Structure 1
Amino acid sequence: MAAMTDALWYFARGSGVISLVLLSVVVALGIGARSGRTAFGLPRFTVNLVHRNAALLAVVFLIGHVVSLLFDPYAQLRLFDLVVPFAGNYRPVWQGLGTLAFDLLLAIVITSLLRHRLGARTWRVVHWLAYLCWPIALMHGLGNGSDNGTVWLWTISALCTALVLAAVAWRLSPSFTRFPQRADRKINPALQEVR
């Protein structure tokens, strides 16, 4: 039984960190996808595809993180704690930040699934919650759990922060172009023959 409890604890810790890393990649790629220039030398559709798949993986690891904590006797997480922030028994502020990030991500997932019914404008407004979700998840990871004072967790968190800040700095820089004007777009020579 102790081996199972230890496995749940390690899986909860690992899946939380992986989810944070993936969420950092998602935020950086989301910022990069808004540019008219290709990010990392990749076509925009590739950046969007990696962005979407990394987001799905982040959600999968987050669900693994939450479910493993529900069954972990050390964490003593209740279903109520997954929905209502700052009501937990263990470090309620830090746990509440995790709940808040989970709730925000849940809203993003639900509206993404209903995107065709909600419309692009409504979906986009809710989707911007990802920019709020990321720092909240980062603070949760740094303040909660048994690894909050370790060098490896702070290093990973610093790298995630550097990635997102680099993307934000690029977004705010003069070299960032939102989307090229229609006249500036290069037309594929193969398509010109069709016209």
Structure 2
Amino acid sequence: MIKRFLYTLILLFALITFFFTKDLWIAAKQLGKPSDYAYVIALQAGLIGGTLMWFQYVLGIRAFISLFTKDILGVLDVHKNIGIYGMLVVFLHPLLIILFYLSNGINLLIPKFDTTFNLSVRVGSVAFFFFLTIWLTSALLRNRLGFRAWKILHFMSYLIFPLVFIHGLKIGFTIRYTNFTAIWLFYGITFGLLTLYRIIFQFGFKKHKYEIKEIIDEANGIKRIVLKPIENFITNVIPGQFAYI
């Protein structure tokens, strides 16, 4: 149930982005040039990609998600699928933007830092590098990396959305010149608040304190750990589900 709800919600947010680009699609159709279509698709991919990044970050905060649902496994499954498959949309944005500007005699692959536009392009490039690193290590190399190495690399996810947010706010055509600005600001503000919540949680907020009473060997390599609640003990636990202590 939760997975269907989340996929529907994500699809709805993705479809909403088309409302803010409809005039650009009409203009591209009237002009009829492939480069104009490439530009509009790039903008669309940027909006959808930013939306997916926001959803993936939010759904990855287990302490926050657990306030609304007990089906953490279902939420994490959606989180994983967004990261592996949904993020393929993100690749379209830089690819088509580069092709569009090349058709107009501008090579964005050459690093420049002399204008706000060029600086913002570099910010987006850094965000894409971080994103690509996490995507490759999570989607393709996850089983080859140890958990600790993967976890350290995954910390880059904290930097990706702020960089994407700044990139879009500075030079994103749709974000700057349509009412999508409000949605983009909502993404940024909620990201900041949830990051603060995540930091506070790491310092013990809403955590459950237990002590280990006994460790029992059930079978070869399998142990049963008996815990005793000390403070803020867990209630209404679904068998087989996650519990954060």
Which of the five TM-score ranges fits, normalised by the shorter chain?
A: 0.7 to 0.9
Opposite residue 37 of structure 2, the aligned amino acid is A
Contact 1:98 1:140 (C-alpha < 8 Å) held by counterparts: yes
Q: Does 1:110 align with 2:139?
A: no
Unaligned runs of 5+ in 2: 1-30, 212-225, 228-232, 241-245
Which residue does the alignment assign to 1:192?
none
Cα pair distance change 1:136/1:36, threshold 3 Å: closer
Residue 187 (structure 2) aligns with? 160
CA displacement 1:112-153 (0-9 Å, x = unmatched)? 221222200000000110101110011111112433532423
Deviation at 1:9, TM superposition (A): 1.2
- Aligned residue for 1:91, secondary structure, equals helix
- Length-normalised TM-score, structure 1: 0.77
Runs of 4+ in 1 over 6 A off after TM superposition: 87-90, 178-182
Partner of 2:92: 64
Q: 1:98 to 1:58 in 2, by over 3 A?
A: farther
Which has more helix, going by share of residues? 1
| TM-score, reference length from structure 2 | 0.63
1:46 pairs with 2:74? yes
Letter in 2 for 1:38: S
Q: Any stretches of 5+ residues in structure 1 without a counterpart?
A: 190-195
Which residue identity does 1:95 align to in structure 2? V
Larger radius of gyration: 2
Quick check: 1:7 aligned with 2:34? no
1:19 Cα offset (Å) = 0.7
2:239 aligns with one of 174, 181, 188: 188
Deviation at 1:76, TM superposition (A): 3.6
Partner of residue 121 from structure 2, selected from 72, 75, 95: 95
Instruction: Describe the shift of the 1:158–1:150 C-alpha distance in structure 2 as closer, same or farther (beyond 3 A).
Output: same
The whole-number CA distance in structure 1 between the counterparts of 2:135 and 2:48 is 18
Identity of aligned residues (%): 22
Residue 206 of structure 2 corresponds to which residue in structure 1? 176
Q: Name the counterpart of 1:150.
A: 177
Q: Residues 56 and 82 of structure 2 are in contact (CA less than 8 Å); yes or no, is this contact kept in structure 1?
A: yes
**Structure 1 residue aligned with 2:158, among 111, 131, 142?**
131
Classify 1:141/1:179 alpha carbon distance in 2 versus 1 (closer, same or farther; 3 Å): farther
Match of 2:167 in 1: 140
| Cα distance change on mapping 1:95 and 1:43 into 2, 3 Å | same
Bigger mean CA offset, 85-94 vs 5-14: 85-94
Return closer, same or farther for 1:36/1:100 CA change in 2, 3 Å cut-off: closer
Q: Secondary structure at the match of 1:164?
A: helix
Q: Evaluate the alpha carbon distance shift between residue 152 and residue 77 of structure 1 in structure 2; reply closer, same or farther with a 3 A threshold.
A: farther
CA contact (8 A) 1:36 1:177 kept: no
Structure 1 distance, partners of 2:121, 2:196, is 30
Structure 1 residues 6 and 180, CA gap change in structure 2 (3 angstroms): farther
